Amino acid sequence: MSETETEVVAAHRDPVVIDASIRALAGLRELLPSLVGALLLTDDGFEIARATQHGGTDERLASMASSLQALGEAIARELGLGDSEYALIEAHHGRVLLRRIANQPIILAGVFDDDETVGKAISVSRKLADELSAELASAR
């Protein structure tokens, strides 16, 4: 490799991205007590970092979340709605919030119990996404 070439490291293997992701998820946990679990994952479904309260999260969650985020973004584009901000799955015993980290190939998947208000989860996830995006941009 020449001096002008730089090696591209996948986000899920990049120590800078992993460290920033771990810190971001710790901050999310502090701000949202009803957080059951959260992942930061790549567009192609690889886990970068995870934060859970109750054991582990299904290993397939990163892959499924990546697919759902891509589908939501495709629907928004197809309908001419502009960029998708987040996707929300509302279930009987909780919620899953998916949010793209701006200008990064990274998605946040947060699982909240039904005690958390949707507005608070959306607001806090936006703050986390903005801060992580800025931190990763400045690290480059």
Is the residue at 100 inside a domain?
yes
Angle, helices 15-31 vs 118-139, to 10°: value is 150
Give the single-character DSSP code of 51: E
- Asked whether residue 93 is domain-assigned, the answer is yes
Residue 28 lies in a domain: yes
- Specify if 6 maps to a domain: no
Is residue 43 included in any domain, yes or no? yes
Q: Which helix (H) or strand (E) holds 23?
A: helix 15-31
d(CA 120, CA 109): 15
Amino acid at 8: V
- For tokens 């584009």, name the residue: 77
User: pLDDT (tens digit, 9 = 90+) per residue, 11-65?
Assistant: 888 999 999 999 999 999 889 888 899 999 999 999 999 987 655 556 788 999 9
- The total domain count for the chain is 1
pTM recorded for the entire structure: 0.87
**What is the CATH number for 40?**
3.30.450.30
4 part of a folded domain: no
Provide the residue range defining the domain that includes 21: 11-139
Other Cβ atoms less than 10 A from the Cβ of 21: the count is: 28
Domain membership of residue 5 (yes or no) is no
**Main-chain dihedrals φ then ψ at residue 37, nearest 5 degrees:** -170, 160
Q: Is 29 within the bounds of a domain?
A: yes
